[in-house]
Amino acid sequence: MTSTVTYTGHLRTESTHLLSGTVVTSDAPPDNQGLGQAFSPTDMVANSLATCMLTTMGISARNHDMNIDGARAEVTKHMAANPRRIAKIEVKIFMPAGEYSELDRKKLEAAGHGCPVAVSLHPDLVQDITYIWP
């Protein structure tokens, strides 16, 4: 088992990661009857794409003697209706200062695009990924 999730009322949940004990709260967003005081479940999906991409890129960087410490992402989620779902996730990845050859860039971008979350999302969900290199 990976986690437990408890509905605490008022459209809020608390998820506990069993290995670490970390607790994450989620709220329904204001446009869906919630308080919006924490990540919504769909916010977490969008954020998971960016964290997965950066983590997988970090693995690739480590394996190829590169350092991407300080890389960061900006995430924007776009919702659709009927059915209510995530239609598009925009991720802008800002790479830290450094010397990146064309091959380095290709390796890191391939790692990001091939992360487990990216390849698990439905193909109808648009993943608009931009890499900003120094």
Q: What is the per-residue pLDDT for 64?
A: 97
How far out from the chain centre does Cα 84 lie?
A: 19
For residues 59-68, give the mean pLDDT: 97
Report pLDDT digits (tens) over 32-49: 999 999 999 999 999 999
Report pLDDT digits (tens) over 13-29: 999 999 999 999 999 99
Per DSSP bridges, beta strands 3-9 and 23-27 are unpaired
Rounded CA separation 64/8 (Å): 45
Report pLDDT digits (tens) over 78-102: 999 999 999 999 999 999 999 999 9
Report pLDDT digits (tens) over 104-132: 999 999 999 999 999 999 999 999 999 99
Q: What is the per-residue pLDDT for 23?
A: 97
Does the model's pTM come out above 0.85?
yes
Instruction: Quote the CATH superfamily of domain 41-132.
Output: K homology (KH) domain (3.30.300.20)
Q: Where exactly are the structural domains of the chain?
A: 3-32, 41-132
Rounded CA separation 64/62 (Å): 5
Per DSSP bridges, beta strands 126-132 and 85-94 are parallel
- What percent of the chain is modeled with pLDDT above 70? 100
Rounded CA separation 96/70 (Å): 6
